[in-house]
Structure 1
Amino acid sequence: MQLTGTLAYLLYAASLAIAVPLEKRDGSSYTSGTKANDIKDGVCAPVTFIFARGTTEIGNIGETVGPALAKKLISGLGRDGVAIQGVEYPASILGNAQLGKSGGPTMVDLAKQAKSSCPDTKIVLSGYSQGGLVTHYAAKHGAEPDCAVLYGDPEYKIDKVGDLDSSKVKSFCATGDGVCELHTFDITAAHLSYTTGNDISEGAEFIQSSILIGRPRIIVAGAGIAGLAFARALERGWPKEHPKPELVIYERSSKDSDREREGYTLGIKPESGLHALEQLGLLDAALCLSTVGCNDVPPLPTIWSKDWRPMLDLSTRAKSDNGDHGARSTGIRLIRYELRNLLMEGLPSHTKVYWGKGCNAARVLDGRKIQVEIDDGSTEQCDLLIAADGANSKVRSVLLPDDTLNFAGAVCLMGTSRFPSRKPAVLEHKWGMNLTGEGTAFLTFPVDKNTGIWALTYRSSQPQERIRGEEAVWRKQEILDEVRERGNMLQKPFNEFIEATDPQTLQVFSAMDKVPVQHAKALPAANIALIGDANHAMSPFSGNGANMALADAVSLASRLSSCTSLRAAIDDFDAESWPRSQKAINRGRWIISLFHLKGFAFLLLRALLAVVSVLVAWKR
């Protein structure tokens, strides 16, 4: 059973004493040999394994069962998941007559020391041969174990292990082992056989399963790209050896996609979004839905001037990289509702999704459980809350009221054009952007042969009010007049795009972004993780909102499935996510500056694009 210190231990035990995650310290120093002293060295882990060796074995953990079981636990739990400690006692032949008293008090002291320095650890007592007697003694005299595993126990079926329920005790007695079968000191081959079969593996599995009681409850706020991807990623990555968490998603919107509001396309990049989709098992399906890289539409854009003269044409470079291989290397574009539907179809069947119900607030209860307030007035509790409710996250606004969005310095007016026959000729097999050199940029994206998406952007010192939906419909003339005025330097087919605009798709919004959350600083005492735009809102200029949402979902799910503590999982997630998302935010700010250059700066850019164009043609 290969687990890397799975977080299952903390999450499953959220209903037990593991509700407060352990402090993350250096992991077990034990690798091999006859001695293990993690408790004495101050190691704190979710599980503390204390072992008493058999008669005449050397060291404090012995040479046979002890090392084998310790290694198997480290393999299953990870080095950070378990502390290994041997019991120092004589283990002499005469010691058997003391019925465990020769080492029992030491085992008790070790268990108490572990609990004192690491209150939330689970104590596992184990012994082989005479070590079984030591374990019985310790369990009766204050060690307070959570479970016990015995091999060749002289008191097999004679005595209980302290007050432990029988479901918390596993005792192995090999056929022909006189020590446990007949309660004699006749050492047979069977008594020496416990490391040769499956007993060690079964013992380790029993230890891991016996401390995992109940199912963790995870609430995901938001069924957008990040929330849906997280649910699938957790399902695929969660260790099969353990019961799966109860995962519940609350989404404020309805289940049916709003095709007008979600009809824009998203760039999915190879190093982030495509990689995440591959981890989710959805890459092939996503490639089939791409609006570029197929039907003679290249995956890479063209940069035009205001009169539609190419300043840099990357589309011809991409022709040699057609098909799936080319898409995997250059990226794809997906209509947002197509990506959302793909993720919805990939949801595990047992995942509960409550549509039309959003999460309004959250607070931390005693024991670190989270109480979530639903917008219908009800409340729910969970062991872990994933906030994936978008850039205007309600959860974030309550927990981190000062962590607000920042205006990135540009305003976008956007719509979808539906042409009765075909799109303008220049855009039938190309897409890209017009850089005017006058502080305005015009972007076009393909959907199909009769449909295209456009966006006009300009620099601004102040954000503009958001307009969409019914308000955009009745303000259609006002919005389109502004588009025409700001884009008056653009030549045909600019006006064709504007005239063919479906008013139901019109939007006006400001480019906003936000510095990523560092959970250890912002939410150190809460079992809450923010992902996607709720964590680090991206301006559309970064071209990375969906990419970062997918990458966050896969990254966090992977760490929750493989870390020893919730804090360790979130810290590891931050270490990977923070620099990645901050880089994307910085890229968005840089692109805003680039798209809206004027005067001499724009002339320099145009000269640079000309040089790049020559190099591209030469390499082709």
Structure 2
Amino acid sequence: MGRTAVVVGGGIGGLAAAIGLRRIGWEVTVVERAGVLDDAGAGISLAANGLRALDALGVGEAVREASRGQYTGGTRTPGGGWLARMDGAELERAVGTPIMGIPRATLHRLLHAALPAGTLLTGAEAGPVTQIGPGTVRVDRGGTPLAADLVVAADGIGSKIRGRLFPAHPGPLHSGSAVLRAVTAQPLALRTDFELTWGRGAEFGHIAFPDGRAEWHAVLALPAGTRFADPLAELHRRFHDWHDPVPALLDATRPEDVLHHDIGELRTPLPSYAVGRIALLGDAAHAMTPNLGQGACQALEDAVTLAAALTTEPTVEAALVRYDAERRPRSQAVAKAARQAGRMGHQLAHPLAVALRNTAMRLTPSRTAVRMILRHHAWEPPGLG
């Protein structure tokens, strides 16, 4: 089996894949076209499955030390009433860890630090990927060919590699929503670790960090390409009468820190995550809506599963067949569940539908809610040898 790989994309999934490959003895080069990642200013929640994947990669302890456990909080209405309270301690008893909140930039820094200097090539555009022999794949990088035994396409929802491998696939579609988000410029006295509030056609949530700052996000039903001249002012207008701490989170934010992205997804599942010696990973394989907080966790699962398959199968091609068989059913099921969760969350706008949803949530026992969460969080990583 070969021992050299090129990972296209230096986001969370790409760096995790590089770490996994190095842990099993491969030489890896990561090619990232951006100098600074788009989402460097946002935050992320890591569930038990993502944390277990990070443990398998050897960086779980460092990530936990930089994170804050989500023990308190839950889901609310704009007026402040509770639809469901989160019992992080109960979840920890069930799966061994609470959900952890961490700045995305911090997670990215920790993953980068786990790789040798020079592994990540930023500002480097990857061109076409071609098979140049029975056991070699070549990636064009700005006119310079990089030959490898394996190429990992972790180039995001707009993956050019995926488009070349599956030209008939419709590619990513707009979900009907956009997300605006930021990390506060200063700490706040928050009463909870995590909250999610559902209004009619809108959602607002926050994740508290260890230093007292918080990431917040606002999801709005908007046509693709909609942008505001002053995003923060627009959010103040829309959310000024929502419960505390929503206005306080916006007050603690600098206008220049607000990120605005359309939410896309691969609504049509891919027929395979592997072609020859090319593996698709993360959003390139299964971009999903953020309603379950599983996008990054699924990419981390991909990275560990790929490395494990390469340690047990006799050829790269056989390993990628196994990777596809293990990852595609699970990740596509999670993507479908995330889409369904969005339909029951911020996408509901009719007053009667909202009232029925709210009543059902209030009547759902906490243990039932934990069991529903466990469907996605209860994952054990394969060994890396």
Determine if contact 2:282/2:295 at 8 Å carries over to the other structure. Answer: yes
Q: Which amino acid aligns with 1:517?
A: L
Give the equivalent residue in structure 1 for 2:363.
611
Give the equivalent residue in structure 2 for 1:503.
255
Aligned counterparts of 1:413 and 1:283: Cα–Cα separation in 2:
28
Aligned counterparts of 2:302 and 2:236: Cα–Cα separation in 1:
39
Q: CA deviation at 1:528?
A: 0.8
Q: CA deviation at 1:278?
A: 1.8
Question: Of the candidates 344, 360, 364, which is equivalent to residue 594 of structure 1?
Answer: 344
Point out the structure with the larger strand share: 2
Q: CA deviation at 1:609?
A: 2.3
Determine if contact 1:428/1:449 at 8 Å carries over to the other structure. Answer: no
Give the equivalent residue in structure 1 for 2:173.
406
Question: Of the candidates 344, 353, 375, which is equivalent to residue 112 of structure 2?
Answer: 344
Question: Of the candidates 217, 226, 229, which is equivalent to residue 455 of structure 1?
Answer: 217
Give the equivalent residue in structure 1 for 2:80.
308
Determine if contact 2:34/2:123 at 8 Å carries over to the other structure. Answer: yes
Question: Of the candidates 564, 577, 592, which is equivalent to residue 327 of structure 2?
Answer: 577
Determine if contact 1:389/1:533 at 8 Å carries over to the other structure. Answer: yes
Question: Of the candidates 539, 558, 570, which is equivalent to residue 289 of structure 2?
Answer: 539
Q: Which amino acid aligns with 1:370?
A: V
Question: Of the candidates 180, 194, 206, which is equivalent to residue 444 of structure 1?
Answer: 206
Show CA shifts across 1:334-358 (max 9, x none). 22122112212222x4873323213
Show CA shifts across 1:146-199 (max 9, x none). xxxxxxxxxxxxxxxxxxxxxxxxxxxxxxxxxxxxxxxxxxxxxxxxxxxxxx
Q: Aligned to 2:329, what secondary structure does the other structure show?
A: helix
Give the equivalent residue in structure 1 for 2:150.
384
Determine if contact 2:53/2:300 at 8 Å carries over to the other structure. Answer: yes
Aligned counterparts of 1:549 and 1:380: Cα–Cα separation in 2:
24
For residues 445-484 of structure 1, the aligned pairs below 5 Å read 445-448=207-210, 450-460=212-222, 462-465=223-226, 475=229, 477=230, 479-484=231-236
Instruction: Give the TM-score, by structure 2 length.
Output: 0.84
Aligned counterparts of 2:254 and 2:117: Cα–Cα separation in 1:
39
Q: CA deviation at 1:492?
A: 4.5
Question: Of the candidates 60, 70, 77, which is equivalent to residue 283 of structure 1?
Answer: 60
Aligned counterparts of 2:294 and 2:366: Cα–Cα separation in 1:
28
Question: Of the candidates 192, 205, 216, which is equivalent to residue 429 of structure 1?
Answer: 192
Q: Which amino acid aligns with 1:463?
A: A
Give the equivalent residue in structure 2 for 1:517.
270
Aligned counterparts of 2:310 and 2:269: Cα–Cα separation in 1:
19
For residues 24-63 of structure 1, the aligned pairs below 5 Å read none
Aligned counterparts of 2:14 and 2:151: Cα–Cα separation in 1:
11
Matched, 1:262 2:40: yes
Determine if contact 2:101/2:209 at 8 Å carries over to the other structure. Answer: no
Q: Aligned to 1:308, what secondary structure does the other structure show?
A: coil
Determine if contact 1:413/1:456 at 8 Å carries over to the other structure. Answer: yes
Q: CA deviation at 1:366?
A: 4.0
Aligned counterparts of 1:309 and 1:301: Cα–Cα separation in 2:
12
Percent identical among aligned pairs is: 26
Larger Cα Rg: Structure 1 or Structure 2?
1
Give the equivalent residue in structure 2 for 1:318.
88
Show CA shifts across 1:279-318 (max 9, x none). 1122222221112x2xxxx43532111112222222xx33
Q: CA deviation at 1:573?
A: 0.8
Unpaired segments ≥5 residues, structure 2: 369-385
**Residues 1:464 and 1:557: Cα distance change in structure 2 (over 3 Å):** same
Give the equivalent residue in structure 2 for 1:335.
103
Aligned counterparts of 2:159 and 2:250: Cα–Cα separation in 1:
33
Unpaired segments ≥5 residues, structure 1: 1-7, 12-215, 239-243
Q: Aligned to 2:357, what secondary structure does the other structure show?
A: helix
Q: What is the CA RMSD across the aligned residues, in angstroms? A: 2.8
**Residues 1:449 and 1:334: Cα distance change in structure 2 (over 3 Å):** closer
Aligned counterparts of 1:610 and 1:280: Cα–Cα separation in 2:
39
Aligned counterparts of 2:117 and 2:135: Cα–Cα separation in 1:
26
For residues 25-424 of structure 1, the aligned pairs below 5 Å read 216-236=3-23, 238=24, 244-254=25-35, 261-270=39-48, 272-291=49-68, 293=69, 298-314=70-86, 317-319=87-89, 328-347=96-115, 349=116, 352-367=119-134, 369-374=136-141, 376-403=142-169, 404-419=171-186, 422-423=187-188
Determine if contact 1:414/1:506 at 8 Å carries over to the other structure. Answer: yes
Give the equivalent residue in structure 2 for 1:63.
none
Q: Aligned residues, how many?
A: 365
Determine if contact 1:303/1:311 at 8 Å carries over to the other structure. Answer: yes
Q: Which amino acid aligns with 2:342?
A: I
Give the equivalent residue in structure 2 for 1:487.
239
Q: Aligned to 2:220, what secondary structure does the other structure show?
A: strand
Q: Which has the higher mean CA deviation after the structures are superposed, 568-577 or 334-343?
A: 334-343
Show CA shifts across 1:106-152 (max 9, x none). xxxxxxxxxxxxxxxxxxxxxxxxxxxxxxxxxxxxxxxxxxxxxxx
**Residues 1:402 and 1:614: Cα distance change in structure 2 (over 3 Å):** closer
**Residues 1:505 and 1:398: Cα distance change in structure 2 (over 3 Å):** farther
Question: Of the candidates 555, 558, 579, which is equivalent to residue 305 of structure 2?
Answer: 555
Q: Aligned to 1:538, what secondary structure does the other structure show?
A: coil
**Residues 1:339 and 1:415: Cα distance change in structure 2 (over 3 Å):** closer
Show CA shifts across 1:56-81 (max 9, x none). xxxxxxxxxxxxxxxxxxxxxxxxxx
Determine if contact 1:541/1:592 at 8 Å carries over to the other structure. Answer: yes
Determine if contact 1:222/1:252 at 8 Å carries over to the other structure. Answer: yes
Q: Which amino acid aligns with 1:458?
A: L
Give the equivalent residue in structure 2 for 1:72.
none
Instruction: Give the TM-score, by structure 1 length.
Output: 0.54
Determine if contact 1:443/1:456 at 8 Å carries over to the other structure. Answer: yes
Aligned counterparts of 1:544 and 1:485: Cα–Cα separation in 2:
30
Q: Which amino acid aligns with 1:251?
A: E
Q: Aligned to 1:519, what secondary structure does the other structure show?
A: coil
Q: Aligned to 2:209, what secondary structure does the other structure show?
A: strand
**Residues 1:579 and 1:305: Cα distance change in structure 2 (over 3 Å):** same
